[in-house]
Amino acid sequence: MQITLDVPEYSSETGLRVHWLGGFEINVTLKGGAVCIHGNQAGLISLAGHLLNLAQEAAPLGCHLHLDEHNSLADGSVELILIRD
């Protein structure tokens, strides 16, 4: 399977620009000390795009995406913070 993603270029003026595919679903839980990420195809592909977005050379250290049930994740999800180191 080959998937092509459009990763918006990072700029200091706009920061990270994220794109979620239509119909995405992501739920993040903690089970026995492990972080579990559950998602449908659109959600997992979108999350992969966000990780590639953070991996850009132009994205500065400390740049991050903060996701929670009030921002893109399913109700009841624990917070998920993706950080560029």
Continuous H helices in the chain: 41-54
Per-residue model confidence as pLDDT tens digits over 15-74 = 999 999 999 999 999 999 999 999 999 999 999 999 999 999 999 999 999 999 999 999
Asked if 28 contacts 35 with a C-beta cutoff of 8 angstroms, the reply is yes
Angle at 83 between CA 71 and CA 78, to 5 degrees: 40
pTM: 0.90
6 has pLDDT over 90? no
